[in-house]
């Protein structure tokens, strides 16, 4: 009888151990499944979960890039280089050493305005070396491809620059087709007439075209462009393909 009781106890203990093991395995599987579903961000991306951290990270990245871009201009000015002539008031100008226009680059109204005011001298080089040497259809694409390859071969660069190229194309279509309709419904829109000359054979005729401007539209476009650019720039900072896609989500 004692032996039978001992055997029963051993069987019960074995069953308990098996149950405990199964429960542990189930818990571990559940944890792994949760991690896969959440796709937890790596340490390099974890700062995007916090608004304060993401703000300070963006601020630090911006300051670092601005310092790198602006410092050569200061060096040129200290060396007496970059003189571009005099203005109407005979004040000397040094635009040849200008490489960054802070207000227009940080708060642009469109992607084109950002590109025209960020790293100005490099843009001039791209215009002379790439843009003007390609057919019209491929000029903008060629500039973006060369700029991307010039930065490096990380996937984040390609995600960023080709996204910006797409934004530029969408912005052009939007400005041409949607913007006039929006301006016609805004209360502060001001319309100005500008003459456009059109030559036909030997006779030349001029037609007046009305262009609108609105402060409300400008503010909204600057806010949208600011957040769109900084959201897309996560890929430029993180560089990795998976990390960029996770951060965009």
| Domain assignment present for 165 | yes
| Domain assignment present for 70 | no
Q: Over 70: is that where the pLDDT of 174 sits? A: yes
| Domain assignment present for 157 | yes
| Domain assignment present for 54 | no
pTM equals: 0.63
Q: Is 195:84 a contact under the CB 8 Å cutoff?
A: no
Q: Is 83:91 a contact under the CB 8 Å cutoff?
A: no
| Domain assignment present for 237 | yes
Banded model confidence at residue 39, pLDDT cuts 50, 70, 90: low
How far, CA to CA in Å, does 53 sit from each of 26, 46, 65? 36, 9, 18
Question: Which range has the top average pLDDT, 69-73, 82-86, 144-148, 203-207?
Answer: 144-148
**Range list of β-strands (E), 91-189:** 92-93
- Could you tell me how far CA 40 lies from the centroid of its own chain? 23
Please report, in angstroms and rounded to a whole number, the separation of the first and last CA atoms in the chain. 67
Q: Over 50: is that where the pLDDT of 47 sits? A: no
Mean per-residue pLDDT over the chain, rounded: 77
Residues in contact with 156: Cβ distance below 8 Å, sequence separation at least 6, in sequence order: 235, 236, 237, 238, 239, 240, 241, 243, 244
> How many domains does the chain divide into?
1
Cβ atoms within 10 A of the Cβ of 125, count? 13
214: domain range?
136-188+210-249
| Domain assignment present for 143 | yes
Q: Is 119:126 a contact under the CB 8 Å cutoff?
A: no
| Domain assignment present for 199 | no
Percent of the chain past pLDDT 90, that is, above it, reads 0
According to DSSP, the β-strands at 203-213 and 190-200 are antiparallel
Separation CA 212–CA 191 (nearest Å):
4
| Domain assignment present for 232 | yes
Q: Over 60: is that where the pLDDT of 41 sits? A: no
């Amino acid at each position: 009888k004692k032996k039978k009781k001992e055997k029963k106890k051993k069987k019960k203990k074995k069953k308990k151990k098996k149950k405990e093991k199964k429960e542990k395995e189930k818990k571990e599987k559940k944890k792994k499944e949760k991690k896969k579903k959440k796709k937890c961000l790596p340490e390099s991306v974890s700062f995007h979960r916090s608004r304060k951290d993401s703000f300070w990270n963006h601020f630090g990245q911006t300051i670092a890039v601005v310092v790198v871009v602006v410092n050569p201009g200061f060096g040129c000015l200290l060396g007496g280089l970059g003189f571009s002539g005099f203005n109407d008031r005979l004040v000397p100008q040094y635009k040849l050493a200008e490489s960054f226009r802070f207000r227009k680059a940080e708060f642009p109204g469109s992607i084109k305005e950002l590109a025209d005011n960020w790293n100005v001298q490099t843009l001039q080089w791209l215009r002379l070396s790439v843009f003007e040497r390609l057919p019209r259809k491929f000029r903008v694409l060629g500039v973006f491809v060369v700029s991307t390859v010039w930065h490096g071969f990380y996937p984040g660069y390609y995600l960023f620059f080709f996204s910006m190229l797409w934004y530029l194309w969408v912005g052009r279509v939007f400005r041409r087709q949607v913007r006039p309709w929006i301006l016609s419904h805004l209360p502060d829109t001001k319309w100005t007439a500008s003459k456009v000359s059109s030559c036909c054979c030997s006779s030349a005729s001029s037609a007046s075209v009305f262009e609108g401007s609105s402060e409300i539209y400008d503010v909204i476009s600057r806010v949208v462009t600011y957040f769109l650019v900084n959201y897309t720039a996560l890929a430029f900072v993180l560089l990795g393909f998976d990390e960029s896609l996770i951060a965009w989500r």
